[in-house]
Chains A and B, each alone.
Chain A
Amino acid sequence: MKEKVEILSCEVQKEENPYKPERARIVRKYDLTNDVRFFQVRICNPEKVMEWTTNYKPGQFMMLSIPNAGEAPFSITSSPTRPGVFEFSIRKVGRLTGKLFELKENDFVWLRGPFGNGFPVERMWGKDLLFVAGGLGAAPLRSVLLYALDNRERFGKMYYLYGAKTPEEVLFKNEFEEMLQRDDFECHLTVDKDPEGNWPYDIGVVTTQFKYVKDIDVNNTAAIVCGPPVMYKYVIQEFLELGISEENIYMTLERKMKCGMGKCGQCVVGHKYTCIDGPVFTLWDVKTIRNLI
């Protein structure tokens, strides 16, 4: 009788399975607007807390899941310069976020990541920065804004222009009001409409705020935009009119994603996968890969 020979193996890698989420605790949450909530989340495994929260790039995202409700990508709102927790600003729009809004402090969520290319922050060192955010676009931009503020001496002039539909929909209102006091960078807030009539700042779409942008070195400026799809065209037009080159105009985009690792294919655009080739793209990418915005 011949001895049974094992030529094939059936072992699946369990320890380093990138699909397996890590447990995290909601340590703080509060409403930013009537449908957007801020979540501060801490990885439960103490050995991983600092490793995970210092080693990511502004602009990256995480896959957040709740068993039975599913998993979806959310951009990180916090900055690796302020480690210890991950922060997210999440709008209630579907099944998963609906379930998430039912959770209380000390409840668990599960995280995988971080994924995505993030902003090339090192390449922006020494440059003037021009941020333009619209609505919920302030969430991913807060990560790179905080990063820039925490490394203030590495950057030139800084402008932050933020537009929301109404005063009620302004995210991080207190934070921005504090920032208005700073004299080392310029922050401008605007709303499209002010039904209550209490808004102390400008009224008008975000592109009207470009009038405040003066004295930037257009040949040495990184422009960053994030907002609803309809906004990009107009903001990009303003960037180009200022004379900023296509490769220095950055935007972060959203797509449906189920893996975050360039496999499931749902975030595909042309031949690029938003999860690994993005979500941060330059205007040059957008022009070459059609259908990105």
Chain B
Amino acid sequence: MRVFKMKKGNIVPFLRSLEEFGEVWGPVKKGDNYVYAHEDPEKFDLSALRTLIPAKKFFLPQKSTILKFKNGNWYTHSDCKKRVIFGLHPCDIHALNIYDEFYTRVYEDPYYKSNKEATLIIGLSCLPDEHCFCNLTDTSTVEKGFDLFFTELEDKFLVWVGSPRGDDILAKRSDMVEDITKEDIKDYIEWRKRRENMFKVDLSFTGLPEIVSASYDSDIWDKMGSACLSCGTCTMVCPTCTCFDVEDEYDIRADEMNRNRKWYSCMFREYSLVAGGHNFREARAERLRLWYTHKLVGFMSEYGDPACVGCGRCVVSCPVGINVLSIVRALTGEKNDAFWAKTEVKQI
């Protein structure tokens, strides 16, 4: 992989100059959270860790019209936009790689594909906080799935080129980058070591598929299920959740019908309800079990990797403390006092 170096002061002009290829989006602070926004790159917060909603929204929007029905015919509709997304961390890029595999397998999703082709992905290194555990899910570094990747060292950026598109861009901005030296590599190795020592979550993900499969009848699911609010937050913030619903919507003004798809959650009761009123997952415990089985076992047998990238979004978002860490702790027999105390709430 080709690597260059960039002076710190060049990053904002560089990102600004990318506006010629598409809208430049990056992480900015909004309230207590970070969100991706199309703003002047000067406002991008390079210290941002996890955005509230992951970058999947650029490839599978929360709501989008996929078909229009007018004058007795269906027409393909797309809201695809050219974008440059800056500030994706290794976990985010790993999640997008899972998305890529998922949305192109068996049947290629044309909307996903065009969104993907319309987007430049520019990664950015990060230093973990107490909720990050990408070191445990083997997603703390990334080799593919980006056009450029910026590693922020003390006094410079190292820029890894991950695609021909990325290389084309750097070729056109050759005045902003320079070749790396032995000294730079040394600095990078130092930085890597420092970063590796910053992870705080102490847990093992080894052998999880077998453990989760064997725990199908465990009372852990009932306990967690009794605390779960079925709010679906975990599925919305999870960067590898792919599910959607499709609904028709009549537009009176245009006298046309839109077929829309929008994010959906397996935590919702209606998710597994079939015609005639039979529900395959009536209990919240069953829905929770499905999600964690799908994340920790399902993707393993399909792709060889778990679908958890260790971003920590479910850890900071679930209002009752059910997340991949508390589930794994419970399944591996580790007492998680904070969580069990919370589940003492009476059955809703």
Contact = CB atoms under 8 A, between A and B. Distances in A.
A9 B168 CA distance: 15
B113 A13 contact: yes
Contacts of A7: 21, 120, 165, 168-169
Interface string B266-280: 100001111110101
A243 interface: no
Given A4-B20, A5-B172, A8-B119, A20 B76 contact: yes
A110 interface: yes
A55 interface: no
A265 to B, nearest CB: 3
A285 B107 CA distance: 23
B42 interface: no
B211 interface: no
Given A7-B169, A265-B242, A97 B275 contact: yes
A264 interface: yes
Contact of A71 (B102, B169, B246, B281): B246
Interface size class of A (residues with CB under 8 A): 35 or more
Given A67-B257, A94-B275, A271 B302 contact: yes
B69 interface: yes
A20 B74 contact: yes
Given A12-B78, A14-B76, A262 B105 contact: yes
Contacts of A91: 275-276
B113 A258 contact: no
Interface in B79-117: 80-83, 102-103, 105-107, 109-111, 113-114, 117
Given A8-B119, A259-B246, A265-B242, A254 B80 contact: no
Contacts of A259: 244, 246
Contacts of B105: 262
A70 interface: yes
A10 B72 CA distance: 27
Interface in A10-43: 10-14, 16-21, 23
Contacts of B275: 72, 91, 93-94, 97, 256
Contacts of A68: 69, 248, 250, 257
B110 A13 contact: yes
Interface string A264-293: 111011110000100000000000001100
B294 A263 contact: no
B244 A265 contact: yes
B299 interface: yes
A227 to B, nearest CB: 13
Contacts of A270: 290, 293-294, 297-298
Interface string B57-89: 000000000110100111010101111000000
Contacts of A72: 275
A225 to B, nearest CB: 17
A261 interface: yes
A7 B118 CA distance: 9
Nearest to B172: A5
Contact of A67 (B66, B69, B102, B286): B69
A126 B275 CA distance: 37
B106 A262 contact: yes
A20 B67 contact: yes
19 contacts: A8-B22, A10-B117, A12-B111, A14-B76, A16-B110, A67-B248, A70-B248, A91-B276, A254-B274, A255-B272, A258-B245, A261-B109, A263-B103, A263-B109, A265-B266, A266-B243, A266-B264, A268-B243, A271-B294
Interface of A: 4-14, 16-21, 23, 67-72, 91, 93-94, 97, 108, 110, 229, 254-256, 258-259, 261-266, 268-271, 276, 290-291
Given A93-B275, A265-B266, 8 more contacts: A4-B20, A8-B82, A10-B114, A70-B247, A71-B248, A93-B276, A268-B294, A270-B293
